[in-house]
Amino acid sequence: MRVVADIPNPNMKVTLLAWNGKYLIKLEKGSFEQTYKIGEMDVMGDEGAKALLDEEFMEATLNRFNDMRDAFVSTIRRNG
pLDDT value at residue 7: 97
pLDDT value at residue 80: 80
Taking 50 as the pLDDT cut, the residues of the chain under it are none
pLDDT value at residue 46: 95
The amino acid at residue 46 is D
C-alpha span between 20 and 77 (Å, rounded) = 40
pTM of this structure: 0.91
C-alpha span between 73 and 48 (Å, rounded) = 36
Closest CA to 66 of 16, 7, 12, 17: 12
Helix (H) or strand (E) segment spanning residue 71: helix 55-79
